[in-house]
Amino acid sequence: MSVLKVPTRRRGRPPLDSTYADETRNSIIWAGLELLTEKGVTATGIDQILRKVDIPKGSFYHYFKSKDAFLEEVISAYNNYFIRKLKKYFEDSQHLPLTRLRNFTEDAKIGMARYKFKRGCLIGNMGQETTSLNKTLRKKIEASLIDWEKLLEECLKCAAETGEIPSDTNCAAVAAYFWIGWEGAVLRSKLCKDIYPLKLFTDQFIANLACKS
Amino acid sequence: MSVLKVPTRRRGRPPLDSTYADETRNSIIWAGLELLTEKGVTATGIDQILRKVDIPKGSFYHYFKSKDAFLEEVISAYNNYFIRKLKKYFEDSQHLPLTRLRNFTEDAKIGMARYKFKRGCLIGNMGQETTSLNKTLRKKIEASLIDWEKLLEECLKCAAETGEIPSDTNCAAVAAYFWIGWEGAVLRSKLCKDIYPLKLFTDQFIANLACKS
């Protein structure tokens, strides 16, 4: 749920190599990620993002075709980061599958509290701002959520194999159910600035899954 | 989930009675409700709301002390409207309690589709914009959600009494779980412009509740 820190960028005259351009591009993407996760698309101007990484406004279109093209890259960066996180938890063979899910939710609680409940989930935040987003961006957000569903579905299939949940569980539907509700829990947690919605949602979700066995 | 139409207001010179002032005030609140539910707090200016009801900008502070005071009234208006809706469904003794809950979710699906998935829930939308909201507004939104939890808790207690769900169900926790996840379902439904998240969430939620019996 939490996002990485903006990578540090060298100040002063840009050196004449492509690594610098890549670094700068990445630093803009990560600064965007932080601000957009906190404030949302409508309340975040490109100039605010550029100020954060000390890059002149005129340079933006050197790196990105348009604000929408930039937002697409921010979504991709977040999704790649989040997929790595989910794989770390959901494929952690040292724990039983439902414990892996619980461990992910524990990490999210710590992440939300660390940023004083200001950040939450970029995908959930942007999904709320549908009037500010074009169809391509909406599809990209939906596709990210479907990536996460598939990763959880695999984890739940392991749970069904190991007997933690009934073998006839519709893992795809249950995984979709989790992410639908989880985004609600992150939203509520931001609202009340407390981890209890994340805890309540996780406890109920896991108890319901396990109750059938 | 859907909101009422803005009440029509007489045009021309205001008549010299207090009914007119009340009508005008209400029409501003309801226009605010519509726009805020669709676009959110950050993207909605007071002038846009006033244009919608054809009231000059200067009049706003005649009716409301500040934008925040106005937002408080909008939240109250939405909450009162929504409580009436919930009571209509959750206290409908013609149906079994879980059918009452399902009927509410069916109504929400129709409401979301009617407004082409642009509106959703004011409380969920505003809850997402925590950086734009002061503590009083956040508390008021949280209090609305707790009102809704209490109404569902009563409905679930009836379900426990009639044997639809186990008699030892923690109805307060399950009701909180419902609203946490339901706001996620409304969010997702707005994103993909489809009712399937509302349907999937409802089906899974009710199946899980009932599975224990």
**Contact assignment for A188 to B197 by CB distance below 8 Å:** no
User: Residues 56-85, chain B: which have Cβ within 8 Å of A?
Assistant: none
Which of B39, B173, B203 comes nearest A204 by C-beta? B173
Contact (CB, 8 A) for A5 and A85: no
Start-to-end CA span in chain A (Å): 30
Q: Does residue B177 sit at the A interface (CB-CB below 8 Å)?
A: yes
Q: What is residue B113's predicted lDDT score, i.e. its pLDDT?
A: 87
Q: What is residue A7's predicted lDDT score, i.e. its pLDDT?
A: 54
Q: What is residue A213's predicted lDDT score, i.e. its pLDDT?
A: 41
Average pLDDT of chain B to the nearest whole number: 87
Contact (CB, 8 A) for A201 and A182: yes
Q: How far is CA A95 from CA A100, A104, A166, in A?
A: 6, 12, 18
Contact (CB, 8 A) for B6 and B28: no
| A51-93 pLDDT, tens digit each | 999 988 888 999 999 999 999 999 999 999 999 999 999 999 9
Residue predicted with more confidence, B159 or A134: B159
Q: Does residue A191 sit at the B interface (CB-CB below 8 Å)?
A: yes
Of these ranges, A42-46, A49-53, A94-98, A128-132, the one predicted with the greatest mean pLDDT is A94-98
Q: Name the closest residue on chain A to residue B128, using Cα atoms.
A: A187
Residue predicted with more confidence, A135 or B173: B173
Q: Name the closest residue on chain A to residue B173, using Cα atoms.
A: A200
Q: What is residue A21's predicted lDDT score, i.e. its pLDDT?
A: 77
| A25-37 pLDDT, tens digit each | 999 999 999 998 8
Q: What percent of chain B has pLDDT over 70?
A: 89
Q: What is residue A17's predicted lDDT score, i.e. its pLDDT?
A: 64
User: Is a pLDDT exceeding 70 seen at residue B3?
Assistant: no
Q: Does residue A192 sit at the B interface (CB-CB below 8 Å)?
A: yes
CB atoms within 10 A of CB A112: 25
**Domains plus CATH for chain A?**
18-211 (1.10.357.10)
Query: Residue B34: helix, strand or coil by DSSP?
Result: helix
Residue predicted with more confidence, B61 or A117: B61
pLDDT band at B213 (very low <50, low <70, confident <90, very high): very low
Dihedral angle sign, alpha carbons of residues B41, B44, B50, B54: negative
How many angstroms separate the CA atoms of B187 and B177, rounded? Answer: 16
User: What residues of B are in contact with residue A36 (Cβ under 8 Å)?
Assistant: none
Q: What is residue B1's predicted lDDT score, i.e. its pLDDT?
A: 47
| B48-79 pLDDT, tens digit each | 999 999 988 888 999 999 999 999 999 999 99
DSSP B194: S
- Structural tokens at position A183: 């985004």
Q: Does residue B200 sit at the A interface (CB-CB below 8 Å)?
A: yes
| Rounded average pLDDT over A165-193 | 94
User: Is a pLDDT exceeding 60 seen at residue A8?
Assistant: no
Residue predicted with more confidence, A59 or B89: B89
pLDDT band at B8 (very low <50, low <70, confident <90, very high): low
Q: Does residue A146 sit at the B interface (CB-CB below 8 Å)?
A: no
Q: What is residue B15's predicted lDDT score, i.e. its pLDDT?
A: 53
pLDDT band at A4 (very low <50, low <70, confident <90, very high): very low
pTM of the model: 0.88
- Judged by average pLDDT, the poorest of A199-208, B7-16, B55-64, B180-189 is B7-16
